[in-house]
Amino acid sequence: RQLREAQAFLIQSEKMASIGQLAAGIAHEINNPMAYVVGNSHMLRDYVANLTEMLKAYDQHFKELAATGAPQCQEHASRIQEARDSLDIDHICVDIQGLLDDSQEGMDRVLHIVRNLRSFSRIDQAEHMAMSSLNEGIQSTLGIAHNELAHRAQVTTELGDIPDIPCNAGEINQVILNILVNAAQAIAEQDREDMGHIVIRTFQDGDHVVCTIADDGPGIPQENLTKIFDPFFTTKPVGQGTGLGLHISYDIIVRQHGGRLSVESELGKGATFTFALPIHGKPSTDAEQGQEHEREDCAVC
């Protein structure tokens, strides 16, 4: 059984690493052509502004020619006006700026997604710890989880003034994503008409930075609290969950970073996951060994 758990854990960990590499690659591939699109968009905006000014100048001279009363000038002015009306130039001049603004908004959205992908995967830190901002990791992960959270829960963030910490940012982001997805899915299982609510807070507590993720979902039965971080434990139907997400999260926070991960819940009143990471990095080996004995106490009813 232990061998089977270890094999499944390694497979799932490799999947997460592969997804991170894939996300970083996709972000890079999207970012390159987007640089051309954004650059060209700025040039187009300048060109449109110049053409609009030229049209205004033409319009002014056209009115002056028409006002001369000369038959030939009036004939040309009439033809120009007919062409202007048939091509709907006045509407184009008004509408084109809005089209450019909409295009810019779309490009900004794509670039925002790319930044979130790159920040979330943090492939540059895949093999080592580096000073990272937990608050920035939360923001980028929320961008990645947008589709999962949309129409299910409103998210409120109360991010405190906390220091950067030495950590593997990609792995910490994966923990945040696991907890958010679990919260969104739990809320979705409820028979409710209103949106759910998820509150994310960060603050400093002594020599740790702390993150709490609270939802107003159905809560966790008391008998499941002590098993929730066990490998393969899941209440989802077969095929809809591996039961490894929170187990891997526990491994990342406690074993790999020397932190703490716990859950508080009351049936019908939602759940709150809390993890704390040491500001000065993973504790020494002796302290790390002490963390192993905390697991049985990590679930608080």
Are residues 112 and 25 located together in one domain of the fold?
A: yes
242 and 12 Cβ atoms separated by less than 8 Å: yes
The DSSP code sequence of 186-231 is HHHTS--SS-EEEEEEEEEETTEEEEEEEE-SS---HHHHTTTTST
Are residues 156 and 235 located together in one domain of the fold?
A: yes
Condensed to tens digits (0 to 9), the pLDDT of residues 116-161 reads: 666 665 544 445 688 999 999 999 889 878 888 888 999 999 999 9
Are residues 83 and 170 located together in one domain of the fold?
A: no
Are residues 165 and 50 located together in one domain of the fold?
A: no
Are residues 100 and 177 located together in one domain of the fold?
A: no
Are residues 184 and 226 located together in one domain of the fold?
A: yes
**What gap in Å lies between CA 9 and CA 49, rounded to an integer?**
58
Condensed to tens digits (0 to 9), the pLDDT of residues 67-100 reads: 777 777 777 777 877 887 888 888 888 888 888 8
> Which run of H or E residues covers position 78?
helix 71-86
Are residues 109 and 135 located together in one domain of the fold?
A: no
For residue 287, being part of any structural domain is answered with: no
* Domain total in the chain: 2
- Which of 201, 134, 205, 127 is closest to 165 using CA atoms? 134
Give backbone dihedrals phi and psi of 199, rounded to 5 degrees, phi first.
-120, 125
Are residues 89 and 178 located together in one domain of the fold?
A: no
Condensed to tens digits (0 to 9), the pLDDT of residues 15-35 reads: 555 455 556 566 667 777 777
Q: What is the pTM of this model?
A: 0.60
How far from the centroid of its chain's Cα atoms is residue 300's Cα?
Answer: 29
pLDDT recorded at residue 123: 46
132 and 125 Cβ atoms separated by less than 8 Å: yes
Residue 274: which domain range?
Answer: 130-278
